[in-house]
Amino acid sequence: MGRGQSGRPKVVPESHAAIDQLKYEIAAEIGLPVGPYAVGATGADTEFATELGAIPQGQMKEDYWGHIASRDAGFVGGTITARLVRRAEETLLNG
């Protein structure tokens, strides 16, 4: 289900930008070609990839994750959750 389709109100709607930033930081750490610097930054020939159909030409945009394996996308989500839990625990212990 896509973002905003759950029908539930967001607890902290302002957190969306921070979560996106964390998502792209983690993706960059593991070398996934997504985010604002992915197109051309990975060293991949995106023009050649779109011609071959490996990456659909209309899909090459900043927030596209369709070419990422489910396992990798899940790893990013799991890492986000683990880091948020760790930060919450540190806050509770130190504050």
Q: In which residue are the tokens 């839990």 written?
A: 85
Joined tokens for residue 94:
């130190």
Pairwise CA distance, residues 76 & 78, whole Å: 6
Confidence of residue 86 (pLDDT cuts 50, 70, 90): very high
Pairwise CA distance, residues 56 & 50, whole Å: 5
Q: Reply yes or no on whether the pLDDT at 23 is more than 60.
A: yes
Confidence of residue 89 (pLDDT cuts 50, 70, 90): very high
Element (H, E) at 93: helix 70-94
What's the pTM? 0.63
The mean pLDDT of 19-28, rounded to a whole number, is 90
| 91 or 66, greater pLDDT | 91
Q: Summarize pLDDT for 31-58 with one digit per residue, the tens.
A: 888 876 565 444 454 444 444 455 454 4
Q: Reply yes or no on whether the pLDDT at 83 is more than 80.
A: yes
